[in-house]
Amino acid sequence: MKSNMFSFTHSLPTTIFLVLTIFLHPSNAQLNSSFYSSTCPNVSSIVRSIIQQALQSDTRIAASLTRLHFHDCFVNGCDGSLLLDQGGNITLSEKNAGPNNNSARGFNVVDNIKTSVENSCPGVVSCADILALAAEASVSLGGGPSWTVLLGRRDSLIANPSGANTSIPTPTESLANVTAKFSAVGLNITDLVALSGAHTFGRAQCRFFNQRLFNFSGTGSPDPTLNSNYLATLQQNCPQNGSGNTLNNLDPSSPDTFDNNYFQNLLKNQGLLQTDQELFSTNGSATIAIVNNFASNQTAFFEAFAQSMINMGNISPLTGSQGEIRIDCKKVNGS
């Protein structure tokens, strides 16, 4: 009895403590905004200042960096896996997989950021967190919203090229399929519509939308959801048998500015990618009301975008002692 009494009075709090510990550490650790407050307090301004410098010679770079965080997070979570080059144990990289090869860009700027961060706080800040910080700084420098970036992600030891092929939506998919790919990583249609608004800046190559321009789905005609004046412009810029690599502004009305024009374009049948226009032109879809809201109220878009970027940034991070802090974002340490 005495020992039962003892174990009752002393082990229940201990048990609660252990259960809480197991639930909170390490793999269920939450990201937070103060993760580097004592180990690298200036990391956000370092990231921002390198991007500002890069923008002087490349007005597209803010868009490119924003996209990298998306392509990182959708494949094995936000773990810097996208940044690994082929070599050593990485037999195939994500950056050369279908959705990224000759398309994803900005890796050199990520390396410049990493070098600068390593100079201030060696071995402390993960490449995955640099992508999250770079996305926020890029959107904000482009005129979009700012938000408090959650931090504490660690870097993967592996890349998943087939995952990149299957998890990242392609621009010719149906809305139902894109919605399923977002849902697979815990994002709903509000997130889908808000995050698609990142196509308010940056460029797209002809090869990603030219199936809409001449003989859409074997109909012998262009995509009927393309505004006819816009269609003529696009046909000129992306002729049949022309180079599929020619660049086009995703938002011709303000190519490098982060605003809600993307949604106003959709209302005019001026979405560039098939997956853009589908958000508004898929009959009966619940996404239509969300597009209308964001088109008429930029504040609503900015608030939703910031929240959805946080949601996306929370996809399966490595935390605690999982993974590592890479010294060079392109390579697993020691390889």
Ligand X SMILES: *[C@@H]1O[C@H](CO)[C@@H](O)[C@H](O)[C@H]1NC(C)=O
Q: What does each C-alpha distance from 219 to 165, 212, 270 come to in angstroms?
A: 28, 10, 20
Q: Output 75 or 332, the one with its CB closest to ligand HEM.
A: 75
Give the DSSP H or E segment for 55.
Answer: helix 43-57
Residues facing residue 205 across a β-bridge? 247
Question: How far from 69 is each of 21, 132, 259, 316, CA to CA, in Å?
Answer: 30, 6, 19, 13
User: Which of ligand X, ligand HEM, none binds 55 (CB below 5-8 Å, type-dependent)?
Assistant: none
- The DSSP secondary structure of 277-300, one letter per residue, reads HHHHHSTT-THHHHHHHHHH-HHH
Burial environment of residue 329 by CB neighbours within 10 A (0 to 12, 13 to 18, 19 or more): buried
Task: Concatenate the DSSP letters of all residues of 219-260 into one string.
Answer: SSS--TTS-HHHHHHHHHHS-TTS-TT-EEESSTTSTT--SS
> Is residue 71 among the annotated active site residues?
yes
Neighbouring-strand partners of residue 304:
none
Q: Choose the binding region for ligand HEM from 12-20, 152-160, 201-209, 288-296 (rule: CB under 6 A).
A: 201-209
Minimum distance from residue 138 beta carbon to ligand HEM (Å): 8
Give one DSSP letter per residue of 128-176, joined into a string: HHHHHHHHHHHHHHTT-------B--BB-S---HHHHHHHSPPTTS-HH
CA angle in degrees (0–180, nearest 5) for 273-274-279: 100
Q: Which of 205, 211, 227, 297 binds ligand X (CB under 6 A)?
A: 297
Of the candidates 167, 196, 184, 251, the one whose C-alpha atom is nearest the C-alpha of residue 66 is 196
Token pair of 286 as six digits: 């619940």
The residue at minimum Cβ distance from ligand X is 98
Contact 83, 110 (CB under 8 A): yes
**Which H or E element spans position 113?**
helix 107-120
Out of 75, 130, 157, 178, which residue is the one contacting ligand HEM (CB under 6 A)? 178
200 annotated ligand binder: yes
The binder of 303, among ligand HEM, ligand X, none, by C-beta within 5 to 8 A per type, is: ligand X
| Interaction of residue 275 with ligand HEM, rule CB under 6 A | yes
Q: Which of 77, 144, 171, 317 binds ligand HEM (CB under 6 A)?
A: 171
How big is the site for ligand X, counted in residues (CB under 6 A)? 41
User: Least distance from C-beta 65 to ligand HEM, angstroms?
Assistant: 8
Q: Is residue 88 close enough to count as binding ligand X by CB under 6 A?
A: yes
Minimum Å gap between C-beta 208 and ligand HEM is 4
Q: How far is the CB of 61 from ligand HEM (least distance, A)?
A: 8
Q: Does 144 bind ligand HEM (CB under 6 A)?
A: no
Residue whose CB is nearest to ligand HEM in the complex, by number: 202
**Interface with ligand HEM, residue 331, by CB under 6 A:** no
The yes or no reply on residue 199 touching ligand HEM (CB under 6 A) is yes
Where do contacts with ligand X occur on this chain (CB under 6 A)? 29, 32, 34-35, 42, 45-46, 49, 88-89, 92, 96-98, 101-102, 152, 157, 161-162, 165, 173-174, 177, 188-190, 215, 218, 220, 240-241, 283, 297, 299-300, 303, 311, 332, 334-335
Binding residue positions for Ca(2+)? 72, 75, 77, 79, 81, 94, 200, 251, 259
Q: Which residues are catalytic?
A: 71
